[in-house]
Chain A
């Protein structure tokens, strides 16, 4: 690659792509722990309590992996993007430090939570789970605030290349903060709920569980799908809010996402297709009249800025249009699958029939789809900001290190991430197998659902 900063972006993208999977579980599992343990205590459901206990051990394995990938990300961040770090730190670097506090809180209380399963009972134990949730979600919020500030930087002036007159509150509560934080955090919850539903659907699909286990796993899949359905509605509402906020705060990104070449009211929405740069026309797309204007401002008369308002060398890569279409298509599946399977379940229950295998498969693939949607969402955010690292103030090239040695050595990390990913996955599979056996024994003793 002729431009080292592109290689640096690829390296960083690889690392973040892996880390986001571990981070998603770090944010989402604590929510399931809280909900699951609460229901188990309230209903005196020992079987569910044992299941929640197993989730906490899964969280521990994922925290081990997350700590590794998080440490490497931190190093890459500082060493590959020193100019960015230097510019960012006085303004919003504080959020990175506070993120560390929350991660520490999450890790400490997760350890305590696991350690006290057999020592502290009832709601006292449930309360120990609360800081895990606060820590996990808090660290995700803080890191996403930094990203939102990179997209819509506020709270400073610039003199001689340095940030002055810093207003940290304005930087933190930048206009992109609420939609980015809300949309991503609820998407993490959703992805984890669907992944867990998928795992139990897989067990049901393989038909290896006895009648009692089957009843328990069915109960879990149903509840997780109900939770997912609620979460996906929230994510979609926040997604709509994101589109409206992009219209006012990041029009360059919105224009690239929607292939809007010229500024106009009554702007149509394009699904699929590509921009023919010679003719300036969008080709091969399905056109929905007025839809973009309505999406951006709830009215067909909303004027949407086009790419013509921006210098061509400041256009984000237009591949983000395709990424967005795929993301939205897959996100729709995340609404259809839980809603469809729950409806089917309700309908079949009246006829005393079991769910067909294909519907279980739909739930099994929903988790990976949700993860893919998260990955695509972050690609969209990051590519949509290009060529800037901090929009309007610092390009990605300017942010990159002049020490190319750091980049060369850095290539070892994607390989390590692959190994880490495989080993973590295997560890989880081995643990799940052992745990199922243990739970089956508990079931024999308790006979409660």
Chain B
């Protein structure tokens, strides 16, 4: 039961993040379509507040490397390429996002940047999936017991954070998410 809970703590935010990022990827690719550009949604991308979903990735990753710390050496030897690649692409995507939506005027058509933006999303999603598969394979190959003794401290705050966050989250995502602030 405890081991299952450890996996849940890591996998739930990870799956939620992958879903949220897939949505961003779809939007970034949709920006390339002419019909999408012609519509009023050309400026459209996820609302700026959607960026908070990236904290789910940090949460999941931190949870993994603390709860599965006995695997740290193997992780460093076998998973560094996909993980660092994902990290680099994450930074590149973030830089392009900041540039497109906060530096230049986002009303203008910029095919080069739109393509680059979409490419950064697709490649980051691919790198994340690669990293997840590598780590899952590592967990299967090197059977290890997570540090379940940490769960009595790690698990209860999740309930608290979920309760505290539920109202603003519901309010946020039931509202239009087509324009940045």
* Chain B residues near A105 (CB-CB < 8 A): 161, 164-165
Residue A420, interface by CB 8 Å: yes
Annotate A397-409 by CB proximity to B: 1 below 8 A, 0 otherwise.
0000111011001
Chain B CB within 8 A of A345 CB: no
Chain B, 154-181, CB within 8 A of any chain A CB = 154, 157-158, 161, 164-165, 168-169, 171-172, 175, 181
Given A70-B58, A72-B90, residue A108 in contact with residue B65 (CB < 8 A): no
Q: A70-B58, A86-B69 are in contact. Are A93 and B98 (CB under 8 A)?
A: no
What is the interface residue range for chain A against chain B? 35 or more
- B66, A94: Cβ atoms under 8 Å? yes
| One of B24-32, B35-43, B44-52, B112-120 contacting the partner | B44-52
- Chain B residues near A94 (CB-CB < 8 A): 66, 150, 153-154
A82 x B58 contact (CB < 8 A): no
Binding stretch for chain B, among A96-104, A242-250, A285-293:
A96-104
Does A230 make an interface contact (CB < 8 A)? Answer: no
* Chain A residues whose CB sits within 8 angstroms of the CB of B62 once the complex forms: 74, 96-97, 99-100
State the main secondary structure of chain B at its contact with A.
helix
Contact across chains for A65 and B94 when beta carbons are under 8 A apart: yes
Separation in Å of the A329 CB from the closest CB of chain B? Answer: 35
Question: Chain B 76-114, CB within 8 Å of chain A: the 1/0 string?
Answer: 110111011111101110110111001100000000000
Q: Is A68 an interface residue (CB 8 A)?
A: yes
Is A358 an interface position by the 8 A CB rule? no
Q: Is the CB of A111 within 8 A of B49?
A: yes
The answer to the question of B57 belonging to the interface, with a C-beta cut-off of 8 Å to chain A, is yes
* Distance to closest chain B CB from A416 (angstroms): 4
A168 to B99, CA, bound (A): 44
Say whether B59 faces chain A, with CB atoms less than 8 Å apart. yes
| Sample of 7 more A-B contacts, CB < 8 Å, known A60-B49, A82-B73, A104-B161 | A74-B61, A75-B61, A79-B75, A97-B150, A401-B76, A402-B73, A402-B76
Which 9 A-B pairs have CB atoms at the shortest separation, nearest pair first? Answer: A112-B168, A89-B69, A427-B102, A111-B49, A82-B72, A93-B66, A406-B80, A107-B52, A78-B65
Q: Which chain B residues have a beta carbon within 8 Å of chain A's beta carbons?
A: 48-49, 51-52, 54-59, 61-63, 65-67, 69-70, 72-73, 75-77, 79-81, 83-88, 90-92, 94-95, 97-99, 102-103, 147, 149-150, 153-154, 157-158, 161, 164-165, 168-169, 171-172, 175, 181
**A-B contact list, 26 entries, CB within 8 Å:** A60-B181, A65-B98, A69-B91, A71-B90, A75-B61, A78-B65, A79-B79, A79-B80, A82-B73, A83-B72, A83-B73, A94-B153, A97-B67, A97-B154, A103-B58, A105-B164, A107-B52, A111-B49, A115-B172, A168-B153, A409-B84, A410-B84, A413-B87, A413-B91, A416-B88, A430-B103
